[in-house]
Amino acid sequence: MTKTILRALAGETLPTPPIWMMRQAGRYLPEYRATRAEAGDFLSLCYNSDLAAEVTLQPIRRYGFDAAILFADILLLPQALGADLWFVTGEGPRLSTITDADGLAQLKPIDEIDEVLNPIYETVRILSRELPKETTLIGFAGAPWTVATYMIAGRGTKDQGPAHALMQEQPEVFEGLINILTKATIEYLSKQIEAGAEVVKIFDSWAGSLKGDAFTKYALEPAREITQALKARHPGIPVIAFPREAGNGYIGFAKATGADCVALDNSVSAEWAAEHVQVDSCVQGNLASSHMVTGGQDLVDETRRICKAFAGGPHIFNLGHGITPDADPDNVQRMIDAVREA
């Protein structure tokens, strides 16, 4: 029988939605913390194929999720393109910045990125062998706009102001970066698929700060180009798009890009999304990750409400964003039980 997530992505309405969880391999799990300590630091964990595969498998062993998502980071791609990347404990990633044409010209050719990314493909190969046969393997990359915001600012920012400024002040540099990242993302995800990924997801975490024509040009169009290129190379490969906080931009996104599923954050209601988004494609989401911290009957009730709202069409249950480090692992099991008993 075809795996449940692949059935949902193909448009099938299932009596019980398949489940996985963004950042399901992560700091809320004691076994993850132990493996990360063994690796030494976050980047060393990402590039150690055996340990990265191990942390990807940990939540599958503990919870029996219907999918595993490759353990990596969206900023490995800019590092492969030649950006300096490091992580500051308690503060997050730092990168060397791209702010002008000279910085853009110093990026490596796309055909050289595999020199850095080969360990990631090896992680995928290990997982494709070791995952339970019923578990779907998801590969991923950051969307060009979101990755560009980090490369331009050198870190995460609240309003993506430096990227918006470069877009306005040096549009040829900004668009050159988006173009490079779009083409590099196609190659990166294609290699993940060749290594064994059965689904790929494009994370556009900062899509919500793009408005109007900018959303179309820098969120929707790159997603369409990546999706179409991957489907031309790998016929039948399902693609999940996540233009987070897109609001009304979620409407028609699947049709416009060719994505098989639109992942939803929790700023939109499941009832609204069922009416406006699920009519075009599978939807994924969208429980607020705060419920993984607070738990209780509210967690159960909200989980059941989302399942009921999306019961009329293809749905993959997930959070509206990644699980946070302060989440209670027991609440994850409560959520899974609520979905499967709904």
Catalytic site residues?
A: 23, 27, 36, 73, 150
Count the Cβ atoms, other than its own, within 10 Å of residue 3. 18
Judge whether 247 and 208 are in contact, CB under 8 Å.
yes
Q: Is 21 helix (H, G, I), strand (E, B) or coil?
A: coil
Separation of alpha carbons 34 and 41, rounded Å: 11
Count the Cβ atoms, other than its own, within 10 Å of residue 169. 10
Judge whether 32 and 63 are in contact, CB under 8 Å.
no
Q: Give pairs for 222-226: CB < 8 Å, separation 24+.
A: 222/143, 222/144, 222/145, 222/178, 222/181, 222/182, 222/185, 223/143, 223/253, 223/257, 223/259, 224/256, 224/257, 224/258, 225/182, 225/186, 226/182, 226/185, 226/186, 226/189, 226/202
Judge whether 155 and 83 are in contact, CB under 8 Å.
no
Separation of alpha carbons 214 and 330, rounded Å: 41
DSSP letters for 206-244: TGGG--THHHIIIIIHHHHHHHHHHHHHSTT--EEEEET
Q: Is 35 helix (H, G, I), strand (E, B) or coil?
A: helix
Separation of alpha carbons 243 and 25, rounded Å: 22
Q: What share of the chain is helix, strand, coil (3-state, %, to 5)?
A: 55, 15, 35
